[in-house]
Amino acid sequence: MSEFKVKAVSQFINRKDYSTLLRKVDENGAHQPEKLKFFYCVHCGAPVDFDVENAVSISDTCSNCVLLVKRGWMEEAIRNYEGS
Ligand SMILES: [Zn+2]
pTM tops 0.75: yes
Per-residue pLDDT reduced to its tens digit, 21-60: 888 877 776 655 566 677 899 999 998 988 878 878 889 9
Q: How far apart are CA 37 and CA 56, in angstroms?
A: 9
Radius of gyration of the chain from its Cα atoms, rounded to whole angstroms? 14
What percent of the chain is modeled with pLDDT above 70? 88
Residues with CB in 5 Å of ion ligand 1: 41, 43-44, 46, 62, 65
Q: For position 58, what pLDDT does the model report? A: 86
Q: How far apart are CA 61 and CA 41, in angstroms?
A: 5
**Distance between Cα 33 and ligand 1 center (Å):** 25
Asked whether the predicted pLDDT for residue 3 surpasses 90, the reply is yes
- Which is it for the CA torsion 62, 64, 67, 69, positive or negative? negative
